[in-house]
Amino acid sequence: MIVFFAVFIVFLLIGMPISISIGASAVIGCLNLGYPLMVIGQKMVFGIDSFLLIAIPLFIFAGNLMNAGKITDRIFNFANSLVGWIPGGLGHANIVASLIFAGMSGSAAADAGGLGTIEMEAMTSKGYDRDFSAAVTSASSVVGPIFPPSIPLIIYGSIASVSVSKLFVGGVVPAVLIVVTMMALTLVISLKKGYPRERFDVKKLAREFARSILSIITPLIILSGFTAGLFTPTEASCVAVVYALAIAIFVYRTLDRKSFIKCVLDSAITSANTLFIIGTSTLFTYVLVREGVSGQIADFIAGVSMNPGIVILTINIILLVLGMFMEPGAILTLMLPVLIPIAQRFSLDMVYFGVIVVLNLMIGQVTPPFGVCLFIVSDVGKVKLEQLYRAIVPFLIPLIAVLFLCAYYPPLITWLPNALLGE
């Protein structure tokens, strides 16, 4: 087991991709412990042998189609018309646009990379500080994997055998709370720094609404579809792709052949990487379980205290730290076999627990020094990382506040799915 962990840590330190680090350490660990070679292939295939996981590449593809088809431009323009009259209007538009786009992609990285360029250019051209613009863009991307659909919640549902539909609906209230608290902070900062706002124009709002209505209703179609039982989350991903293609090609006419091919290739690469991480993480986890390590970790966490509140705090801290260094998919696959028995031991609602886990991981994605979304926004926005590190700190306050509010008041997560889908 020493070799197992040593290889993993060394690979991470030398900058190897997380999928390679996990896979190589798992394979070497299996060989060192004398496991049959057949186990390696079997466990990796088993990790991705799920109908539910088909939704991941399809939602990734749908998000890329939205970006390539310039649909994100219409979303941002509508959001600006809706909330641009508030002091710091473009900052608020940034946050609202992220909420709308979250209902299409389910990915923080897609939000940061797709909408980020548009939002950053619009804000800096109107006199907003570049580091503030980058911070708002980074923080608002957290909404992507919380508001349905959500790729991390799909992974959690697959591993924990929990209704993905309930998980999706459970993420709605926390996502809205994140948006409201971040808009409140943006208002305070904007008033202090004197950032501009636009004149409210009903005609412009109506015009932008008409131009973007087909994009705006996408989250409603997806959410209402599986809430009403019309289709499963996996089928919802197919609907999202077909819908995105239809409006980009036939309605808006913004997606050409070259852009479509690039979309397919980018989606294939991203999907392959995500599923490879899940596969290698499954093998990694198998070794941990087989050697009793996961049980020891679970006993340690549970042994910290018999108070559920303390245990939740401990789990939150662990996940926040891990989220700063690793992909959410890898963390979920590695840690859930450890965390699920703890949640069951303390009789925690598994829908509540799933949303809390994913919310932790998403906050980790925008937490210095290694938050993945910070690197993406720094690149697309041409902002120095050290500037972004300083600017993002105030935005961590509302994110962590919402996390602990939801963690210690579960009805914020469980009420809506129980009301719509039953207990």
Which one of 123-137, 165-179, 370-384 scores highest in mean pLDDT?
A: 165-179
20-29, 114-123, 157-166, 379-388: segment of lowest average pLDDT: 114-123
The answer, yes or no, to whether residue 258 has pLDDT greater than 60, is: yes
How many angstroms separate the CA atoms of 153 and 41, rounded? 25
**Model confidence at 105: pLDDT above 60:** no
- The DSSP symbol for 84 reads T
How far apart (Å, rounded) are the C-alpha atoms in residues 114 and 108?
Answer: 10
Average confidence score pLDDT of the chain: 83
Give the residue, 417 or 280, on which the prediction is more confident. 417
- Alpha carbons 325 and 328: distance in angstroms, whole number: 9
Long-range (24+ apart) CB contacts under 8 A made by 239-246 are 240/58, 240/59, 240/62, 240/104, 240/149, 241/58, 241/61, 241/62, 241/65, 243/62, 243/218, 244/62, 244/65, 244/66, 244/69, 244/71, 244/104, 244/218, 245/65
167 — pLDDT class (breaks 50, 70, 90): very high
Give dist(CA 68, CA 292) in Å, integer: 47
Helices (H) and strands (E) in the chain, counts: 22, 0
247 close to 213: Cβ distance less than 8 angstroms: no
Q: Is the alpha carbon torsion for 350, 352, 354, 357 positive or negative?
A: negative
pLDDT at 358: 92
What is the C-alpha separation between 216 and 53, in angstroms, rounded? 26
Query: For position 280, what pLDDT does the model report?
Result: 80
Higher pLDDT, 336 or 70: 336
d(CA 337, CA 152): 15
pLDDT category at 357 given cuts 50, 70, 90 is very high
- The answer to whether residues 60 and 329 touch, using CB atoms and an 8 Å cutoff, is no
Confidence of residue 3 (pLDDT cuts 50, 70, 90): low
Q: CB–CB of 200/85 below 8 Å?
A: yes
Q: Mean pLDDT throughout 413-420?
A: 91
Residues 175, 184: Cα–Cα separation, whole Å: 14
Chain segment 39-59, per-residue pLDDT in tens? 778 888 877 777 777 888 888
54 CB-side CA count, 13 A: 13
**Mean per-residue pLDDT for 359-366?**
89
Is 70 exceeded by the pLDDT of residue 145?
A: yes
Assess whether pLDDT exceeds 70 at residue 291. Answer: yes
At residue 8, the pLDDT reads 76
Q: What is the pLDDT of residue 113?
A: 56
Match 């961590």 to its residue by tokens: 396
